Amino acid sequence: MPYIQRPMPSTSNAMPHAPCPLRICFYAPFKPLGHAHPSGDLVTATSIFDFLRRQGHRVIEASSLRCRWIYWKPWLWLKLIKERRQVVQRFSDTSVDLWLTYHSYYKAPDLLGPAVSRKLNIPYVIFQGIYSTKRRRQWKAKPGFYLNKKSLCAAHHVFSNKFVDLLNLKRILAENRVTYVAPGIIPDEFSFDETSRKKLHRHWNIADEPVIFSAAMFRPDVKTEGLIWVIRACGELYRQGQNFRLVIAGDGKEREKLQQLAKEHVADRVLFLGKIPRKDMYRYYSAADIFVFPGIRESLGIVFLEAQSCGLPVVAFNNAGVPEAVRDGKTGLLVPIYALEPFVDAVKRLMVDKNLRRRMGIAAKSYVREAHDLEKNYKKLDSVIQRTVNSGLLTCRKI
């Protein structure tokens, strides 16, 4: 059923073609806003929500229902049905223009947005929709693959912040229904701070040794695996007699395991900071000289943008979404995934070559401000959803 267009306001003082403030239902099926465990997904979802509000839109979190592996959790199915009914009732008497879902994929397909937007007679949009055909060959992921595909095909428009995902989406969606929006941060929130650098160096008792910085949650997954690579690489440098200090921010279940490994590999050269609030991270980036984190199968890696914005060159694996956040040879050094020797060599190269560090750091700061400024990049998001609300086009390819 075609949705009803809300008429644009017409007053004698209105500027022609001025953007119209929208009333938007926002939903994140993987991890709701305000979730206790920080992640890149949560940062991106929050940044979109806040950006749209800054543009004058009225953005309301429609639901906090998590759909993570929900198709294997039958006790949540009744809750889903009840949530659909309650959300429809909540907004049926309110003029709503758009439903915007952040991140729908096989593990957490959006099972709320398509049904509710249909009932409310409003357009349905997804930011970071992911279509991965290999999941239909995995018994555990297969139901999620088809449920997610159904949600993607129901969307009036789907945004992607990764080129590979954009290409995959074009296999099932018409080209005019998909848009690439480069990932971004607010660079002013991650600027180099000399005062913090001096203060932390005094606190850490650092003289002139380079500081290698890494940050991730200590989860039993690729985050911890990545930190293990950092520690082992620094262990190789330690055995070579290199002078450095390794500083790691983060916390979680694997903390004891990582601390024990660090003790074995780098002895007293490591400092674990614990969990640092994102608003304070610029201080610790400023105190470092190199940001090192492999980014194993990293969808994007907001930390790479944050570190570069503060003037840090990056060492990481050349895989997944990392090359979209780091310019190899310009703002950092990317090496083949799981290649220990090149990884160690890249870290060592930046450690011993201060001029290279400085050049890449300057380039990194400029790169983030030119290519990954959230306020600039998300204007495309705003423009397309405005256009979507004022158009009734919906075509779907059959495959």
Delimit the domains of the chain by residue range: 23-184+374-389, 187-371
Q: Please give the backbone phi and psi of residue 212, each rounded to the nearest 5 degrees, phi first.
A: -95, 125
The tens place of each residue's pLDDT in the chain, 399 residues long, gives: 344 434 433 333 333 344 578 999 999 999 888 887 767 778 899 999 999 999 999 999 999 999 999 999 999 999 999 999 999 999 987 889 999 999 999 999 999 999 999 999 999 999 999 998 888 889 999 999 999 999 999 999 999 998 889 999 999 999 999 999 999 999 999 999 999 999 999 999 998 899 999 999 998 889 999 999 999 999 999 999 999 999 999 999 999 999 999 999 998 999 999 999 999 999 999 999 999 999 998 877 889 999 999 999 999 999 988 999 999 999 999 999 999 999 999 999 999 999 999 999 999 999 999 999 999 999 999 999 999 998 854 433 333
| Pair of tokens at residue 260 | 């024990």
Confidence at residue 208, expressed as pLDDT on a 0 to 100 scale: 87
Cβ atoms of 149 and 172 within 8 Å: the answer is yes
* Residue closest to 173 by CA, chosen among 154, 145, 193, 194: 154
CATH of the domain spanning 187-371, picked from 3.30.450.40, 3.90.1150.10, 3.40.50.2000, 3.40.50.720: 3.40.50.2000
* Residue closest to 397 by CA, chosen among 115, 163, 177, 125: 177
Same fold, 23-184+374-389 and 187-371: yes
* Angle of helix 142-154 versus helix 113-120 axis, rounded to 10: 30
Cβ atoms of 45 and 31 within 8 Å: the answer is yes
What CA–CA distance (Å, rounded) separates 14 from 329? 49
Cβ atoms of 141 and 68 within 8 Å: the answer is no
Cα-Cα-Cα-Cα dihedral of 145, 151, 156, 159, to 10°? Answer: -50
DSSP alpha helix (H) spans, the chain: 40-54, 77-92, 113-120, 142-154, 163-169, 194-204, 222-239, 255-266, 281-286, 302-309, 340-352, 354-371, 374-389
Confidence at residue 17, expressed as pLDDT on a 0 to 100 scale: 43
Residue entry with tokens 């003037």 = 311
Please identify, in words, the CATH class of the domain defined by 23-184+374-389.
alpha beta
Q: What amino acid is encoded at 266 in this protein?
A: V
Which bin fits 331, alpha (ψ -120 to 50), beta or left (φ > 0)?
Answer: alpha
Using DSSP bridges, classify how beta strands 124-129 and 211-215 pair: parallel, antiparallel or unpaired: unpaired
